Structures are given as C-alpha cells and as structure tokens.
Amino acid sequence: MGDINVVRDETERMGSHFNPSTASSFNDFIEHADLTDIPLRGPHFTWSNKWGSKFSKLDCFLVMGGLLDIFPHLSSMVLEKFIPDHRPILLLEHHVDYGPTPFRMFHSWFHIDGFDDVIRNSWNDLSGTIYSNPWIKFKKKIQLLKSNLRSWNATTRVQMSNKRKEIQETLDSIDSRLMEDRGMTELREKRVTVLKELTNLDHITQLDIAQKAKIQWRY
C-alpha cells in the first residue's frame, strides 16, 4: 500500500507523460502475484504538483485473495489533501445491513380493478390457520399479502402494457379511417371512448412517476 509511483493506464495520469511499458509491467506484476487493486472512492487522482497542472493516481492498496476472504467488504477512500502533494488513502471494511427490503405501496394500485380482491383474499387465506402466537399469525398474513401483491403487480403491469398497445393500435386505425372519410360520426364517438381509456391507463403510470419523484426508495 502507499505511494507506488506508477500507474496502470493512461486514465490515471493527466498533464504528464504516460509510459505504456511501465504500466504493462506493473499490471503483469499484479496479475502474477494474484493481487487485487482495491478501487478508490472519492477523487480520481491521489497526487498533484503544487501548480495543479499535473495529476496522477500513484497511491493504492494491493491485497491478496486471502485477505478478501476474511474481509469481503473491503473498500478504500481518498481523503482531503490539505498541504502535502499526496492525498491520504484509507482502507476500511464496511458493510451495512438495512434489514429486509421494505414493502412498497403504489398509490396507483387503488385505481386498478382487482386490488381489493387481492387484499381480501390474501388476508382470509390464513384465517383458519391456528398459531399459538397471534404476532406470528399477523406476520404470516403480512408475508403472504406482500408475496401476492408482488405477483399481482407484475401480472397487472404486463396486462396494462398489452392493453395500452391494443388501444393505441385501435386509435391509430380509427384516425386512418377518419382521414379517409370525415363524416363518420360513429367513428368519432368511438375515438372519444378509446381516447378516454388510453388517458386512464396513462394516468396510472403518471401516478407512479409522481410518487417515485417524491419518495426516495431504499433497497
């Protein structure tokens, strides 16, 4: 670790000469020694001259596979430079467990036929099941509901996509016929109905987009 004073490719230098032969030798050494170059987070370069005209990534951590087996979440970070010409780099093992993926509820679901039935049927599926602990029964109900809603949402989205395609094709067909015969009143009335169906479908999509824009989902 530390100031290796050589780079691996030309993207790790700016404003100074890049030597392909030296870089190739360095990469061969890393490969033959079975080392891993831990990616750096933060500024791309770790060294600069005092005029700020030359930048290089000269500092790195090279570790063996055995260390990664023990510390699988190793990462490194480039810190603030301050006075020296080299930025200090920090090696750390950091793993954050946010727990189970949170349940996501879309407001658009309340506008889709069949949503109420999924809720009702999922909740009643475990009504006759006997659990000694009521909290376990409640947990099982929530898990079943989540699973059923996920499957229902996936199926519904495909159906809505296919339906929108059919409506759009119908609308295009009506427009083509209207352009040939402007006096077809029935077609004009049908066009209004079809256009309303298309607007309703797009409204559901717009609800999801608006909700996602306001809420930052955590995965």
Residue 129, pLDDT score: 67
What is the model's pLDDT at position 41? 85
Q: Which region holds residue 52: left if phi is over 0, alpha if psi is between -120 and 50, else beta?
A: left
CA distance 198 to 179: 20
Give the CA count within 13 Å in the CB-facing half-sphere of 161.
6
**CA atoms of 194 and 211, how far apart (whole Å):** 26
- What per-residue confidence (pLDDT) applies to 218? 46
| Tokens representing residue 118 in the block | 């999924």
> Which residue type, as a one-letter code, is found at position 160?
M
Distance CA 9, CA 38 (A): 15
* Residue 42 tokens, joined: 């933060």
Output the pTM of the full model.
Answer: 0.46
Task: Answer whether 137's CB lies under 8 Å from 123's CB.
Answer: no
pLDDT of residue 140: 85
Instruction: Give the three-class secondary structure for 125.
Output: coil
Provide φ and ψ at 164, rounded to 5°. Answer: -65, -40
Q: Residue 12 — pLDDT band, cuts 50, 70, 90?
A: very high
pLDDT digits (tens, 9 = 90+) for 123-166: 888 766 677 778 888 888 888 888 899 899 999 989 988 998 99
Mean pLDDT of the chain: 83
Instruction: Give yes or no for residue 174 having a pLDDT over 60.
Output: yes
Residue type, 52: G
> Looking at the predicted structure, is the pLDDT value of residue 40 above 80?
yes
Residue 54 has pLDDT above 90, yes or no: no
% the chain with pLDDT above 70: 89
The CATH number given to 2-93 is 3.60.10.10
- pLDDT given at position 95: 66
pLDDT for residue 97: 60
- State mean pLDDT over 188-195: 85
Has residue 205 got a pLDDT over 80?
yes
Report how far residue 11's alpha carbon sits from residue 44's, in angstroms, rounded to the nearest whole number: 9
pLDDT at 219 over 50: no
